[in-house]
Amino acid sequence: MTDHAATGAAPITLLIVDDHPVVRDGLRGMFESAPGFRVLGEAPNGVEAVSLAAALDPDVILMDLRMPGGGGVDAIRELTRTGARAKVLVLTTYDTDSDTLPAIEAGATGYLLKDAPRDELFTGVRAAAEGRTVLSPAVASRLVSAVRAPGNEPLSTREREVLALVARGTSNREIARELFISEATVKTHLTHLYAKLGVNDRAAAVAAAYQRGILG
């Protein structure tokens, strides 16, 4: 199928995965009107993406995260597990996505933002096709700090106590009184455990804690 005797060099074949039809159309139009690319298909969620990837065998998969009916990270993990040839380039809508790390860990080759300039997208896809890592600046900076913290840094006793109270809906002030410490200290513990869990707020911290078995 992917005969490499067409336009000088063989075009890079693509699979577009996004739950918004508008976005899919936009990406398809963008890549079809540019030389060197070929869009093989589209999928609205992770589950369909996996089966389509098996059927179409694209070079690169442009994948959104956060889709109803089959999350992107799970799809990436599945693709990696089954040894798919395709490189996955995550294309997310907004910057500070808490799934950056999970996606990369799951096997994504790159991570770009949808509002990146066209050229950056093209360059990114070509780089991904060659197996090179592509990261948007914002994501890159998040990564370095995350790499410094492997992911499962253990929480200290105090941090776990604070977190447990947070999970019960306790405010910082109440936590302070409960633990006989000042509110400032509570906030310090929170800041520290946010960093360790790789999150930015208490709700996500609680979720991360449950998923790591720290709570529940």
Cβ closer to DNA: 136 or 172?
172
Strand order in the sheet with 87-92: 37-43, 12-17, 60-63, 87-92, 110-113, 134-135
Distance of CA 23 to the CA centre of its chain: 17
Contact pattern from residue 69 through residue 108 relative to a copy of itself, giving x for each residue in contact according to CB under 8 A and a dash for the rest: ------------------------xx---xx---------
Q: Among 54-62, 109-117, 144-152, 163-171, which window interacts with a copy of itself (CB under 8 A)?
A: 163-171
Cβ closer to a copy of itself: 87 or 202?
202
Task: Quote the tokens at residue 139.
Answer: 């994501």
Is the distance from CB of 98 to CB of 199 less than 8 angstroms?
yes
6-to-30, 36, 114 alpha-carbon distances in Å: 20, 10, 29
Exactly one of 202, 208, 209, 214 binds DNA (CB under 7 A); which one? 202
Q: Among 28-36, 82-90, 115-123, 193-201, which window interacts with a copy of itself (CB under 8 A)?
A: 193-201
Classify 130 as helix, strand or coil: coil
Assess 194 for contact with DNA (CB under 7 A): yes
Pairwise CA distance, residues 210 & 213, whole Å:
5
10-49 residues in contact with DNA (CB under 7 A) are: none
Cβ closer to DNA: 82 or 171?
171
37-66 residues in contact with a copy of itself (CB under 8 A) are: 66
Assess 168 for contact with a copy of itself (CB under 8 A): yes
Cβ closer to a copy of itself: 59 or 99?
99
Exactly one of 39, 129, 165, 193 binds a copy of itself (CB under 8 A); which one? 165
Closest CA to 63 of 45, 51, 81, 77: 45
Task: Quote the tokens at residue 78.
Answer: 């599945």
Exactly one of 153, 161, 187, 195 binds a copy of itself (CB under 8 A); which one? 161
Pairwise CA distance, residues 115 & 93, whole Å:
7
Closest CA to 103 of 137, 76, 121, 128: 76
Task: Provide the binding-site residues for a copy of itself, judged by CB under 8 A.
Answer: 66, 68, 93-94, 98-99, 161, 165-171, 174, 177-178, 199-207, 210-211, 215-216
